[in-house]
Amino acid sequence: MNTDVDIRTAAGVVRGRWEGGVAVFRGIPYAESPVGAQRFAAPVAAPSWAGVWAALKFGPSVSQPGRPWSGDAGNCLTVNVWSPDVGAVGLPVMVWIHGGRYLEGTSSNPHQDGALLAGSGVVVVSMNYRVGVEGFAYIAGAPNNRGILDQIAALRWVQDNVAAFGGDPGNVTVFGQSAGAGCIAALLTMPLAAGLFRRAIAQSVPGTYFSEELAAAISATIAEQIGVQATAGDLASISARALIDATDAASKKMLEHVESWGPTALTPTPFSPVVDGEVLPSAPWRALADGAARNIDLLVGHTRDEYRLFNPLFGTEVTDAQLTQTLDLFAPASNSNGGYRALYPEATPGALYELVHCDWLFRMPSLHLADTHHAGGGRTWNYELCWSYNPDQGASHSLDVLLVFGTLSLDDVRNHPSAEPDAAEQAIRVGDHMRSDWLNFATTGNPGWPPYDPDTRSTRVYAAEPTTQPYPEERSHQIWSTHLFDVLDLL
């Protein structure tokens, strides 16, 4: 039977509920509602309240496609907490930052439920933060990277309050995937985030960080759809739904801007963190190489088939002309190894088309994050997920999230017509291995295999049975070894 549990936070008492041996608190405000003067402003800590805050349901989602939000729905800047023992002292803390193309996502996603992780002995926290125009568009008169500033505010809330839930504010691990991992890469180097976490797990780091000029051009295109300028003053009176519709309209026209926006025009989103020299001083790889996060332990990696779910040409015949155009736009302009055609002679044009997108968008940015963090003096571990149950999707983007949280539907696995006979049992084992390694890292700073270094590139490879071996994608590494991931700018 569910039993209520009250905890006193810095702002007031919150009431959660015991659910299956884990105390769960949902929808706790960590910042003021981003409406009115606060709409495009940096977050401000939530005010105190009298009485008891019923933290029994998730807060409303922030504005995003399919879920336009208004202040009438309540405060969307909230955190959720799962604790195995609210009377404990010093439990490790894991703070989840969801992905979603910097455009969507919510902490109420059932695939990212923290109960299973928390039941293993950690306090899990997740958050909503502003996305889309509200959180990541360049807006004149507003601070950049408002969504990441929200995350910093949530991490400050963790520092001030997690001990009341049994957690250790001195042992906080941030973990996130895709856009969430891109935010974590930024947080590693942002002065405002210094001291707010001890460790980081970055799953499938995207390689896109925008200059102010590129971000401003994209925002101008979005604002044009509704006949205004991309300024805080002009946008203040525009509804969230109208901005979402304008973003969707501009996104459908991104290919028209390829000559000025470059490869950004071919990505699945018009948003990325903005490198402005202030909120985000530089691209993460450059800052990490200079030692910006040498005191933070980093676990970073990717899935093998990162682009499969995004690939618009999957299952069709890719022409050599289409491949050439893709290589010209995405692959490093020069390398001494002959490029993709030379190093992957057995691959079809379709396979190479997908591979170069995998490498440019997620795989090589993640590997280079490991390289630069090691170069800057930080302790680093690398992984790759190669297991899959579905040959059409492969080891796809986001599969590692389902495995770590333990929310992959075993019925979906069993019922897939192409699944291996023991795919469901494999899913359980692979998920258990990954979850155990993530928990070990959050608890001790060591996931259980040798640290990464650029000579051996020791990598934990999650297949049906995990192994530790040299980095499996060595041919791609050779192609990208001298490439510098840096700020994307207008061409």
Q: pLDDT (tens digit, 9 = 90+) per residue, 115-150? A: 999 999 999 999 999 999 999 999 999 999 999 999
* Nearest Cα residue to 208 out of 102, 134, 65, 309: 102
Task: Answer yes or no: is 208 within a domain.
Answer: no
Task: Answer yes or no: is 108 within a domain.
Answer: yes
Task: Answer yes or no: is 230 within a domain.
Answer: no
Task: Answer yes or no: is 435 within a domain.
Answer: yes
Q: At which of 168, 203, 238 does a domain end?
A: 203
* Nearest Cα residue to 205 out of 97, 362, 99, 384: 362
DSSP string, 431-480: HHHHHHHHHHHHHHS--SSPPP-TTT-EEEEESSS-EEEE-TTHHHHHHH
Asked whether the whole model's pTM tops 0.85, one would answer yes
Task: Answer yes or no: is 400 within a domain.
Answer: yes
The 10s digit of each residue's pLDDT in 363-403 is: 999 999 999 999 999 999 999 999 999 888 899 999 999 99
Q: Which residues are catalytic?
A: 178, 306, 397
Predicted pLDDT at 101: 96
Does pLDDT of 336 surpass 60? no
Predicted pLDDT at 1: 53
Q: Tell me which amino acid residue 434 is.
A: M
Predicted pLDDT at 229: 97
Domain hosting residue 169, numbered range: 4-203
Same domain, 172 and 319: no
Same domain, 62 and 170: yes
Task: Answer yes or no: is 251 within a domain.
Answer: no
DSSP string, 347-401: --HHHHHHHHHHIIIIIHHHHHHHHHHHHTT--EEEEEE---S-TTT-SBTTHHH
Same domain, 333 and 464: yes
Same domain, 160 and 294: no
Task: Answer yes or no: is 291 within a domain.
Answer: yes
Residue in the block written with tokens 């630069």: 372
Residue in the block written with tokens 């050599």: 320
Does pLDDT of 69 surpass 70? no
Task: Answer yes or no: is 271 within a domain.
Answer: no
Same domain, 55 and 152: yes
Same domain, 188 and 292: no
Count how many domains the chain has: 2
Predicted pLDDT at 334: 60
